[in-house]
Amino acid sequence: MCQIGKIPEDLQKFFKENPHVAIAFSGGVDSTYLLYAAIKSGAETVAYTIRTAFQTSEECQTAENIAKMLGAKQVFIDIDILENREITGNPPDRCYLCKKTLFTAIKMRSVADGFDVLLDGTNASDDASDRPGMRALEEFGVLSPLRMSGITKKQVRILSKSAKLPNWHMPSNSCLATRIPYFNVITKELLDTIKTCEEDISKMGFTDFRVRSDGKTATLETINEDRQLLENNKVAIETLLLKYHSTVSYAERMPHQ
């Protein structure tokens, strides 16, 4: 059960000035803390969660469980993202195109529900130059209170741990489409393959990793701390990945805060 922790003064001030807000809620560490802070600061809020082929059912279930735990009203919005040929073509600005699609849907629904202020969980550690999707936030007037308050990812985790939020230590994640190299067409079959491979590898004890795939070659990225775990499971990993790919390679993944 979460408890009331100290909410940074700048964040309290933001919700005092914006007491009626919609939140784009993924169930990740950042959006969870933002939703928690909004509720504990007394703001009227609704959590809007997108469901597409780029998210796993487990991610959506986690978001639902956390929203219920916080006592938040939650609205799910389903989008058939694979119908968008611009996005499935997988250009370098895919994240921008996707975010634009998602925030169009959230904005329309939240405005219809009476919310004029839309927030997301971008924090002060997020690099705008490395996140083309942030262009969409500016275009739709989406506010990022954590970033505006100078709250970094590390601070979000500390604050979330203090509040006893269940996902404070959850590794950073990204949608399944980010596993597919640019210009390789995104298909349901490839997304399902990546999802299956990552689910099975997670059962081996890995938590912060990625399976990158173009449909032919799979590259498993693991953090240095899991080097021994990787060696212990290499036979099983290659048996798994070679069921769906012709070759397997490995790369080091930089640990996320």
pTM to 2 decimal places: 0.92
Flag the least confident range among 23-32, 96-105, 168-177. Answer: 168-177
Domain boundary among 145, 162, 179: 162
84 touches 101 (CB < 8 A): yes
Instruction: Report whether pLDDT(3) > 70.
Output: no
Percent of residues, the chain, with pLDDT higher than 90: 88
| pLDDT mean across residues, the chain | 94
CATH number at residue 141: 3.40.50.620
3-state secondary structure of 182: coil
* 221 located within any domain: yes
Label residue 130 by pLDDT band (50, 70, 90).
low
Instruction: Report whether pLDDT(158) > 90.
Output: yes
Domain boundary among 162, 178, 212: 162
Q: How far is 102 from 51, CA to CA, in rounded Å? A: 10
* 3 located within any domain: no
* 202 located within any domain: yes
Residues 191 and 137 in one domain: no
Label residue 31 by pLDDT band (50, 70, 90).
very high
Residue listed under structure tokens 């798994």: 240
- Total domains present in the chain: 2
* 238 located within any domain: yes
**pLDDT, tens digit (0-9, with 9 covering 90-100), for 67-92:** 999 999 999 999 999 999 999 999 99
* Closest listed residue to residue 22, CA positions, set 140, 139, 126, 127: 140
What residues make up the domain containing 122? 9-162
User: With b meaning 16 or more CB within 10 Å and e meaning fewer, what string describes 193-231?
Assistant: bbbebbeebeeeebebbbbbbbbeebbbbbbeebeebbe
Label residue 127 by pLDDT band (50, 70, 90).
confident
Residues 16 and 127 in one domain: yes
Residues 95 and 134 in one domain: yes
Instruction: Report whether pLDDT(2) > 60.
Output: no
Residues 157 and 192 in one domain: no
**pLDDT, tens digit (0-9, with 9 covering 90-100), for 81-121:** 999 999 999 999 999 999 999 999 999 999 999 999 999 99
